[in-house]
Amino acid sequence: MLSQHVEPFTCQVTSDGDDVVIAPRGELDMATVGAVEAELRRAHGAGIRRFRLDLSGLSFMDSSGLHLVTRWVNESSRDGFGFELEPGPPAVQRVFELAALMDELPFRKHPG
């Protein structure tokens, strides 16, 4: 039997003035999406007006993560707060590609 090492899920929150970065690490799925949602809600409730969801540390994301992202993008559009996404690794970005959302979501642009 092959041993598969899975990193434990963590969600780091850093702030800089009015900005907050929520950085989940590991797998963003039905079991962990609530932790990310809770951090986003906590920051929003504290009056934060600019968010970046950093997907770069994810090893996997399922449709529950996709739903979380689209909900927050829609909410930011409706309520007027800033929300952007730091792209994830290829396996995570593939979820957005399959859902035909790459051009619809506020992915952070990097020079180069």
* Tens digits of residue pLDDT in 56-111: 999 999 999 999 999 999 999 999 999 999 999 999 999 999 999 999 999 998 76
| Cβ count near 13 (within 10 Å) | 15
- Residue-wise DSSP of 24-92: EEEEESTTTHHHHHHHHHHHHHTT--EEEEE-TTEEEE-HHHHHHHHHHHHHHHHHT-EEEEE---HHH
Which pLDDT value is given to residue 34? Answer: 97
Q: Is the full-model pTM beyond 0.75?
A: yes
Output the average pLDDT for the chain. 92
Phi, psi of 108 (to 5 degrees): -65, 135
Q: Which domains does the chain have, with CATH numbers?
A: 11-98 (3.30.750.24)
**Strand-strand pairing, 19-28 and 50-54:** parallel
Which pLDDT value is given to residue 49? Answer: 92
